[in-house]
Amino acid sequence: MSRNLQHLPSHLKRFTATKAHNILAEDNECILCMRDFYTKDNFFDLTETPCRPYRLQPCNHLIGSECLAELLRRSHTSCPYCTIKIGTTPFPVPAWIAYLLKCDQSPISPVTWLDEARTVADVKGPKELQHFDALEQRLFNGTLTYFDGARLWWAYVEWPALCTLTIMLCLFFANTFLLAAEPLLKALPTSWCLPTYLLAILGVNVGFVIPLLNAVAFLHAGLWLYSTKSFLVADVSCFAIAIQNAIQLVGIEVMLIALIWNCVVFGVMAGWLIYLGCRRKMF
């Protein structure tokens, strides 16, 4: 089953195992690796970490810390001695992230971008999709490193960031074209307002199949609106078009601001969730 960062908070939990002190001599051994607590098999092996005694709840059995961590990574959440389920407590998630995740059905919520990461990886090819699924699996298992966490973060943020940047560049070039073509566009008769407006609507509705014509039409309509100093327009249809163009001009600015804001919020939210996944203590 595919999972994404939206499902991570439900997996961010701590198991109720407390460090044991003053244990009896006959209990000074991990029940899994059979080593004495705080001792190594090879004293000179710097990569080996000795087990520390932890007491599981609610069964109260002792187990070594390293063996317990390995069991939990393998999704074994029961005591290996009596098979009773280990108790859990919720992992704290920032309130603003929890609120955003509840707004996933809103079309303007940045949470809606969470599903795009796997889609983009699938488009890139089977190898990239397999790598993405492996990173997600390691995140949910609590074994993701910071380096791989950064790669997973970029896999989530790449598509929204590139889309936002593309739209910003398109508007920048459109504004540059407007400044360069202003004398020519002003020379066009105002009677072209209605045809150019209709062409602009056509260009939007067909998905910018005629992008250049649509840009010229929109810019000419905007300049016509700007050059109209008086609202005493005899032609009612042109006055209505002017109002609609004004709404479009304002709407694009609002849309761009909302898009940039959503992209920033999404990047921070994704990074924070991955950080919690990398840093979480399982017990």
User: What's residue 192's pLDDT?
Assistant: 59
Q: Report pTM.
A: 0.64
* CA–CA dist 4, 160 (Å, integer): 16
Instruction: Report, as an integer, the average pLDDT of 242-264.
Output: 65
| pLDDT tens-place string over residues 47-103 | 778 888 999 999 888 888 888 888 887 878 888 888 899 988 877 788 888 888 888
Q: What is the pLDDT of residue 271?
A: 92
Task: Check residue 131 and give its pLDDT.
Answer: 92
The pLDDT value recorded for residue 1 is 44
Residue labelled with tokens 């992230």: 97
With both helix axes pointing from N to C terminus, report the angle between 146-187 and 236-279 in degrees, rounded to the nearest 10.
170
Ordered domains of the chain (ranges, CATH): 17-86 (3.30.40.10), 93-283 (no CATH)
Q: Look at residue 55 and give its three-state secondary structure.
A: strand
Q: Return mean pLDDT, the chain.
A: 75
HSE on the CB side for 194, CA within 13 Å? 7
Query: What CA–CA distance (Å, rounded) separates 276 from 94?
Result: 10
